[in-house]
């Protein structure tokens, strides 16, 4: 589904109520009405740069979240999120009227303030604020993503320079954080809405290319979807849906940059067929049926159910030689996996069709991520290091004992060793990956089992390792060890005074 159709065109409260009625209780609807009346009165007389009433923005923000069937308190905070910043109403008044939980979220959003993207120092300061907000209450970031998506959809009303700044900040800060939190829906929206303002020429070229490729494949894919739907149903698999998933424009562009324009015919997932079934067992049964019908491409089966991505993403991907020898990618998951893939961390505040909230799972991983990164970001000053540590695609590799280690793409055994322990890194003398000896500068891949060979007699790291290491953690520990080694050596050779 193209991103334009996911964003409210003419936000109004009645449409929001219609969406809330699909999953909320009458009491929840009453709360939403009270909050809306309060927010509308607070924003009375205020207009957006695009010309509409200001209240349409918080309504649109709330609607984007209501599409996820999200907790009513988050909807309430979304409706009120700009009140303390842009009106005379105080946070204390909000708390008095609507309680501490809603007020706490709004306080977190207000703390983020009107962030500006001006150079690396402000970039890092913005990140620090965001990780603090995440660590305190992840719901703040969920609201902030919806807020930013709607602002990007109306960005045309702003001056050219401001458009570029907001779009660049969205691409470089907001979208990668959404990705780390597993929020695929918001990640794609943030990227595709920003892309035309950051790189308009490439955007238009990619848009036309994708449009041409999609029109060629549309009829063919409908035929394949009919074949697989009939086959799965006949086999007794409870099928929830089979639909085409278009690769987002910015994601398509990133893949073109990696593969080159001349290899565009080798991008097989411009449209993937997504199969949603009843449970995990049906996921694997569906995979078997697809492979019975069509031959899979070697090395293109990815089981993210048994080995989820570091951000929690679960699905099975397989690419096959389909009818007429054409190559098609299938993605198979159950309904719960699908919701978590689209909404990520926000799925913990999602309601099911009966109107009851799904049991909240352990979300400590996200809070721990925020805490760790909040502390590291304060020590960073180099833009490239920052982008590698925070925003590069992540891989997961294993220790020989089966522990999962989350690293940035292209990380090496040196990064792995220092991630385990500084002493392991300093005394690292080699590495085995999947029982094969490899050089220490070899990039690791998801699923690798890494065994570090330690030399107890080794005094410290080599100067060359700084070039091979990719993470800030490894580089900083190598530099510290080299500095300490140099200090010790100087103490030996220099006479005492």
Residue 270 confidence (pLDDT): 81
Taking the mean position of all CA atoms in its chain, how far away is CA 355? 27
- 362 — phi, psi (to 5°)? -70, 115
pLDDT for the residue 401: 83
Report, as an integer, the average pLDDT of 232-240: 93
pLDDT of residue 276: 96
Return the SS3 of 3.
helix
pLDDT value, residue 356: 46
d(CA 303, CA 314): 8
Domains of the chain and CATH, by start: 3-198 (1.10.3210.10), 201-349 (3.30.460.10), 392-493 (3.10.20.30)
Q: How does DSSP assign 73-130, residue by residue?
A: HHHHHHHHTTHHHHSS--HHHHHHHH-HHHHHHHHHHHHH-S----HHHHHHHHHHHH
User: CA of 240: how far to CAs of 232, 334, 365, in Å?
Assistant: 11, 8, 30
pLDDT tens digits for 34-86?
999 999 999 999 988 878 899 999 999 999 999 989 999 999 999 999 999 88
pLDDT per residue as tens digits for the range 320-379: 999 888 899 999 999 989 988 888 878 777 766 554 444 444 455 566 666 666 566 555
Q: Write out the H or E segment, with its range, that includes residue 332.
A: strand 327-334
**What gap in Å lies between CA 294 and CA 290, rounded to an integer?**
6
- What are the residue numbers of the active site? 85-86
For residues 460 and 455, give the distance between their C-alpha atoms in angstroms, rounded to a whole number: 10
Rg (CA), the chain: 25
Share of the chain above pLDDT 90, in %: 46
pTM: predicted TM-score of the whole model, two decimal places: 0.77
| Tokens coding 131 | 């990780």
Q: What pLDDT shows up at residue 343? A: 84
Q: What is the dihedral of CA 210, 215, 217, 223, to 10 degrees?
A: 140
471 CB-near residues (< 8 Å, 6+ apart): 388, 389, 407, 408, 411, 415, 418, 419
Helix (H), strand (E), coil (C) string for 240-256: EEEEEEECCHHHHHHHH
Distance CA 187, CA 173 (A): 11
């Amino acid at each position: 589904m193209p991103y334009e159709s996911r964003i409210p065109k003419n936000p109004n409260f009645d449409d929001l109520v219609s969406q809330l009625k699909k999953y909320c209780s009458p009491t929840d609807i009453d709360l939403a009405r009270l909050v809306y009346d309060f927010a509308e009165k607070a924003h009375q007389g205020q207009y957006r740069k695009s010309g509409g009433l200001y209240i349409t923005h918080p309504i649109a923000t709330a609607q984007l979240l209501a599409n996820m069937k999200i907790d009513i308190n988050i909807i309430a905070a979304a409706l009120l999120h700009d009140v303390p910043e842009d009106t005379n109403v105080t946070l204390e008044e909000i708390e008095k009227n609507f309680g501490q939980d809603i007020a706490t979220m709004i306080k977190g959003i207000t703390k983020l303030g009107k962030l500006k993207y001006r150079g690396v120092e402000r970039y890092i300061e913005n990140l620090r604020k965001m990780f603090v907000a995440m660590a305190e209450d992840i719901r703040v970031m969920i609201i902030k993503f919806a807020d930013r998506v709607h602002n990007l959809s109306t960005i045309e009303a702003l001056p050219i320079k401001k458009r570029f700044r907001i779009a660049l900040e969205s691409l470089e800060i907001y979208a990668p954080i959404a990705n780390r939190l597993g929020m695929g829906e918001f990640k794609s929206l943030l990227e595709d809405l920003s892309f035309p303002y950051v790189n308009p020429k490439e955007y238009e070229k990619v848009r036309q290319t994708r449009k041409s490729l999609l029109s060629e494949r549309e009829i063919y894919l409908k035929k394949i979807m009919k074949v697989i739907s009939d086959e799965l149903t006949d086999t007794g698999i409870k099928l929830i849906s089979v639909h085409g998933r278009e690769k987002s424009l910015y994601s398509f562009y990133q893949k073109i940059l990696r593969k080159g324009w001349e290899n565009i015919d080798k991008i097989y997932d411009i449209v993937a067929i997504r199969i949603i079934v009843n449970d995990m067992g049906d996921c694997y049964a569906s995979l078997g049926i697809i492979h019975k019908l069509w031959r899979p491409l070697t090395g293109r089966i990815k089981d993210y159910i048994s080995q989820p991505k570091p951000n929690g993403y679960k699905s099975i991907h397989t690419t096959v030689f389909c009818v007429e020898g054409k190559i098609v990618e299938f993605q198979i998951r159950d309904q719960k996996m699908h919701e978590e893939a689209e909404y990520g961390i926000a799925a913990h505040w999602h309601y099911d069709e009966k109107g009851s909230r799904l049991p909240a799972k352990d979300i400590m991983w996200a809070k721990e991520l925020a805490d760790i990164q909040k502390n590291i970001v304060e020590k960073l000053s180099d833009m490239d290091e920052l982008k590698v540590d925070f925003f590069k695609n992540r891989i997961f590799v294993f220790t020989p004992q089966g522990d999962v280690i989350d690293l940035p793409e292209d990380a090496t055994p040196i990064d792995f060793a220092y991630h385990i322990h500084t002493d392991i890194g300093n005394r690292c003398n080699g590495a085995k990956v999947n029982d094969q000896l490899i050089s220490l500068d070899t990039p690791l891949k998801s699923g690798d089992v890494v065994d570090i060979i330690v030399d107890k007699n080794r005094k410290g790291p080599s100067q060359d390792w700084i070039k091979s290491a990719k993470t800030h953690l490894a580089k900083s520990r190598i530099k510290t060890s080299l500095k300490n080694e140099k200090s010790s050596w100087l103490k030996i050779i220099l006479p005492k005074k």
